[in-house]
Amino acid sequence: MAVVPQSFLNGLMDEVREVKSLLQKKSEEEVNSQWIESTQVRKRLGISAKTWQTYRDERRIPFSQFGRKIYVKRADLEKFMEDHYIDTTK
C-alpha cells in the first residue's frame, strides 16, 4: 500500500477524466468521418435506387464518386436525417 497526498490524487483523477473525454471525442470524430457505400445509404434511408439518384442529382446529401462507386460520409447522412426529423409528440 502506498500513501499519497489527496491533492495529488485529485490532480491525477482530473487528468484521467480529461484523457477519457479526449478519447471519446476522437472516437466520435472517427465514426463520423467514415464513408458508407451507396447501397447502405439507400437501405438506411429506406429509399429506392431512383429516389437515391434524385437525391444525388439535387445535391441533397454530399457524396463522393469513384468510377461507379458512390460513398457518403456518415456525418453527412446523420445531418440529413436530423434536418428531416419530424417530431410527432408536438
CB of 56 closer than 8 Å to CB of 70: yes
Q: What is the pTM of this model?
A: 0.61
Mean pLDDT of 40-55: 95
Residue 47 sits in the same domain as residue 3: no
- Residue 40 pLDDT greater than 80, yes or no: yes
Mean pLDDT of 76-87: 92
Measured distance CA(80)–CA(60) in Å, rounded:
8
- Residue 80 pLDDT greater than 70, yes or no: yes
- List the domain range (segments joined by +) for residue 51: 34-90
Q: What pLDDT does residue 31 have?
A: 64
- Residue 24 pLDDT greater than 90, yes or no: no
The total of structural domains in the chain comes to 2
Residue 21 sits in the same domain as residue 38: no
Residue 12 sits in the same domain as residue 24: yes
Residue 46 sits in the same domain as residue 19: no
Going by the DSSP 8-state scheme, the letter that residue 84 receives in this structure is T
Q: What pLDDT does residue 59 have?
A: 95
Residue 24 sits in the same domain as residue 47: no
Residue 52 sits in the same domain as residue 78: yes
Cα 23 to chain centroid distance, Å, stands at 15
Q: What pLDDT does residue 27 have?
A: 73
Residue 25 sits in the same domain as residue 51: no
